[in-house]
Amino acid sequence: MEHLVCLNTNSFPAKTPQEGYDLFEDALQGLLQLNSGADRFTLYIDGDTKEFADFLIAESFTYQDFLARLQEESEQDMLLFLTEIDDKAPALDHLEEDIFNQLTEYTFYIPDHAAAQFPDVLSLAFFTNATLLSIDTGEPWNLSRIPLARTTDGSFAVETLSVNNISSEQHGREILEILRNIDIMAICGSHHVTEDFHDWFRELSEENKQRVADKMRLAVEREFKGGRPLFDTLSDADGLKEIRFSAHAGGAIRVLFKALSESRCAVLVGFIKKSDGEGYKYNIAKANEFLKEI
């Protein structure tokens, strides 16, 4: 399985080299918890950093210095793990066009906290379905799930989204437990789920199963209410709505649903589209047929 990770530059730098070493090592131990031995890790680094080696973990203490310290401490397992991470710096040079367009359209912030110095990091994590990799320099970076809200065209949306965050070994264990126990029916709870959607989910890659599960958890928490970027109302579709997010390895995942009552929805159809409009006509018709049977 491939894990996408976004270096949370908002949580850096640490106050001292020693603190930087301790905090970053703890965060990486958390990331290491996700590794089954054959997993792949891609690390996006946003901002002006051209080379990960030059990234400042603390004042006068770079990632290259961190690696040298690991070598001195004979942390061979961690060193081997880090050599296998594919770092993408700067991140914007490695993004698909649809992800890049969404980054330019939306800005994210953390409710009840000061504005992030690098807000694009939050957007990047949300739209790529990546896990933030932070150091615990205080709230909210000490949480395993970071709440987000969005602005677009200068207006603030009163709704909460979220992304996973690792800044400690314990966070990695918590996220691993979630990844190991994906039960889409349990996630959807009391909402009606069609057999077609369930069968489609079971055939997805492990990466896309994780993405669908993550966004369905968020949709349930939000009571399937809200607007873009997570939800949208389809035109000429008899009131159907969709949950929208990017698919692993390209394309976009769409989940069609409709409210059955104030508190219960029907999760009808899931599909992956590779281009604008692809699959909508067929899946809208199929979703409406399922509605007739409910």
Q: Which domains does the chain have, with CATH numbers?
A: 2-179 (no CATH), 183-293 (3.30.2310.20)
CA 270 – CA 195 distance, rounded (Å): 11
- How confident is the model over 260-277, as pLDDT tens digits? 999 999 999 999 998 777
Which residues are registered as beta bridge partners of 173? none
CA 217 – CA 223 distance, rounded (Å): 10
- Per-residue pLDDT at 144 exceeds 80: yes
- How confident is the model over 199-219, as pLDDT tens digits? 999 999 999 999 999 999 999
* Token pair in block for residue 182: 């994906």
SS3 assignment, position 71: helix
Strand pairing category for 145-152 and 2-7: unpaired
pLDDT of the residue at 153 = 65
**What are the E-state strand segments in 37-144?**
40-44, 56-58, 61-62, 86-88, 107-109, 131-133
CA 266 – CA 259 distance, rounded (Å): 6
pLDDT of the residue at 195 = 97
Q: Is 244 left (phi over 0), alpha (psi -120 to 50) or beta?
A: beta
User: What confidence tier does 150 reach under pLDDT thresholds 50, 70, 90?
Assistant: confident
pTM across the whole model? 0.93
- How confident is the model over 9-67, as pLDDT tens digits? 999 999 999 999 999 999 999 999 999 888 999 999 987 777 899 999 999 999 999 99
